[in-house]
Amino acid sequence: MLLLALAACSSNPPPPQWPAEAKGSSERATEAWLSGDSRIEAAEFNRARAEVARTGQVALVARLELLRCATRVASLVVEPCTGFDVLAQDAAPAEQAYARYLAGTAQAADAALLPEVHRSLVGNSTPAAALAAIKDPLSQLVAAGVLFRSGRVTPGVIAQAVETASARGWRRPLLAWLQVQQERAKAAGDANAAATVQRRIDLVAPPR
C-alpha cells in the first residue's frame, strides 16, 4: 500500500522499457551473427526491431537495419541492405549516407554525415593506416569490409581484419577474411602461406 501511494505521488514517471530491451537484443543479435549463430541472431534482431518499431520512429528502425547490414559487410556477405531499402525514402541524410558507405559507393560529400570513425576511409589512398586508427573492433571490421566491397583492400587491411576477428573470437568474419587471405596467397603462387592459412581455417571450422 505504501509503495502504491508513493508511486501515485511521484511526479517522475518510470522510464520506458523499450530502449533497454532493444539495446540488449540488438547487442545479442550482433554477437550471435559474428559468432556464427544465425538462428539466435534472427530471433534477437526481430525482438529488437519489434521494440523499436512500436515507437513509429523511422530513423531508429533504419539505424537498426543498418547495424544488421554492417555486420554482414564486416563478414564479407555481399547482399542488398533490403531492410533499410524499404525505409530509405523516409530516412535522414545521415542514414542514407551510411547505407551508401556500406555499399562501397560513398562519395566525398557523404564523409561529413558518417559516424566519425568512418569518415577518414572515404577516398583515402592509404586505407591500412586509417583502418589501424579505428579502435572499436566491429567498426574496424565494417571499414575493412567497405574497403573490400569498393575494391580498395590491401594485404595490410586483410591481415588487420583477420587478427581483429581472431582476437574477438568472431568465427564468421574470421573465416571470411581467412579465405580472402588464402585466395591472395594462392594467386601469388605462395603455396606455403596458403597452407598455413588453411590450417587456421581448419581450426576455426574443422572439415567434416
Mean pLDDT to the nearest integer, 44-61: 94
Contact 32, 41 (CB under 8 A): yes
pLDDT at 208: 63
pLDDT in tens, 85-140: 999 999 999 999 999 999 999 989 999 999 998 988 887 778 888 888 899 999 99
* pTM exceeding 0.85: yes
pLDDT in tens, 1-30: 455 544 554 556 778 888 899 999 999 999
Res. 62: pLDDT tops 80: yes
pLDDT at 6: 47
Helices within the chain (DSSP H only):
2-9, 18-35, 38-53, 58-74, 82-85, 93-102, 116-119, 127-132, 137-149, 155-168, 171-187, 191-204
Give the whole-number percent of the chain exceeding pLDDT 90: 76
